[in-house]
Amino acid sequence: MTTAPLDMPRPAAPHAMTQAEPGRLPSLVGLTRAGLGEALLAAGVPEREIRMRVGQLWHWIYFRGATSFEAMTNVGKGLRATLATRYSLARPEVVTEQVSVDGTRKWLMRMPSTGPHDRGAEIEAVYIPESDRGTLCVSSQVGCTLTCTFCHTGTQKLVRNLSAAEIVAQLIVARDRLGDWPGGVRPTDGLVPDAERAVSNIVFMGMGEPLYNFENVRDATEVLSDGEGLSLSRRRITLSTSGVVPMIERAGDEIGSMLAISLHAVRDELRNELVPLNKKYPIADLLDACRNYPGLSNARRITFEYVMLKGVNDSLAEARELVRLLKGIPAKINLIPFNPWPGTRYECSDWDQIEAFSEVVFRAGYASPVRTPRGRDILAACGQLKSETEKLRARARLMLESGIGAEGFFMGASDD
């Protein structure tokens, strides 16, 4: 089996969504089938019944969105009572919800804490409604290790990986808030499409680099795509990477989702600045990995993301070089108008220049949609996500400096 590259960052190990904390029962929300089986065995369910009982829990948690064991009417009262004494169906806490004028919603979620000085890791997820779909942008890490210079998230240091359960729980929270379960009630603001399913697509484009949290992203995708529960087709799940070349083939084999590449430059010199990971895995190596992506075809094209930075990467010569580089790769090119954030040194390309760039790409035979900025007014647009985690880290340092014990205040926090 292919292993992770030796230079992959090693953040502190995450606690699972199921880990108990003082006064709080571990949650079953987000667990894989294997994880639910282990929980049932621990609760004393006979091994011969595990498969059936897992199926029952799976239906109630992931199809119906149950928030209590009492609602599980086809599970015996005795087992319901036993489960209620040992586990919960708790979700991450929604600290804040912001709603953009365009209907985009951003949730700041806090994961369960691990002790009296730990408020719990915080991450952001974004829901983007459109006329024909609803897309949930999920995070895979707390913070990010890649320090891409145009990205707000890149200014927040990596704290830790999210567990598979914490990744899945972001969709559970979204469905709760959007009334996206059978019989659910949609928000009354009229900004959620009147469709059978409010969330139809998932993109791993939130906080973090998904391929540096490979196993948890893979296991989360298994839960998200299970046809008896959340039931999102893998063709409606997109994994976006900045180019962790050694993991791309494995992602195709074991995750099997659609692939998006954060490219943003056509010259190594510039991409080294914009996406520092390029110093390890230059453009030529990245594109070779794309050409060999398992399942690549015209029906399963790779999306190349290209942020439009005024006077940096938006010349027509760079548009022509982009076309040359992608020759032979079934691809779509998303042009992303730069979304400003406090302290950035970049500006968005002029609209006329974006259109001219797009025309060069389109004439070469590539779909080149210009992604309409969404949620800019609530800092929910592409590249703008950043949680309040750093404030917690700073508070922990202040506690230490003042002599107050802060062991475990913020799990996995490190200044490395």
pLDDT at 144: 79
- pLDDT greater than 90 at residue 27: yes
Selecting among 122, 124, 166, 318, the annotated active-site residue is 124
pLDDT band at 156 (very low <50, low <70, confident <90, very high): low
User: What is residue 196's predicted lDDT score, i.e. its pLDDT?
Assistant: 83
Which pLDDT does position 414 carry in this prediction? 29
Active-site hit among 144, 151, 290, 382: 382
Tell me which of 24 and 204 has the higher pLDDT.
204
Of the spans 4-8, 256-260, 395-399, which averages the highest pLDDT? Answer: 256-260
* Angstrom distance (rounded) from CA 87 to CA 13: 22
Query: Which distant-in-sequence residues (6+ apart) come within 8 Å of 368 by Cβ?
Result: 332, 333, 334, 335, 358, 361, 362
* Highest averaged pLDDT of the listed ranges 261-275, 332-346, 398-412: 261-275
Q: Quick: pLDDT tens for 256-268.
A: 999 999 999 999 9
Query: Is 382 in the active site?
Result: yes
* 93-389 topology per CATH: TIM Barrel (3.20.20)
Which pair of tokens denotes residue 341?
Answer: 């954030």
SS (H, E, C) 221-267: HHHHHCCCCCCCCHHHEEEEECCCHHHHHHHHHHCCCEEEEECCCCC
Q: How confident is the model at residue 3 (pLDDT cuts 50, 70, 90)?
A: very low
* pLDDT confidence of residue 290: 97
Q: Is the pLDDT of residue 245 over 70?
A: yes
pLDDT band at 371; cut points 50, 70, 90: low
Mean residue pLDDT of the chain comes to 84
For 111, 161, 216, 295, the CA distances from 410, given in Å and listed in that order, are 11, 13, 21, 41
Residue spans per domain, the chain: 33-86, 93-389
pTM for the whole thing?
Answer: 0.84
Name the pLDDT band for 119 (thresholds 50, 70, 90).
low
What pLDDT, in 10s, does the model give residues 169-202?
999 999 999 999 998 999 988 888 888 889 999 9
Residue 148 falls in the annotated catalytic set:
no
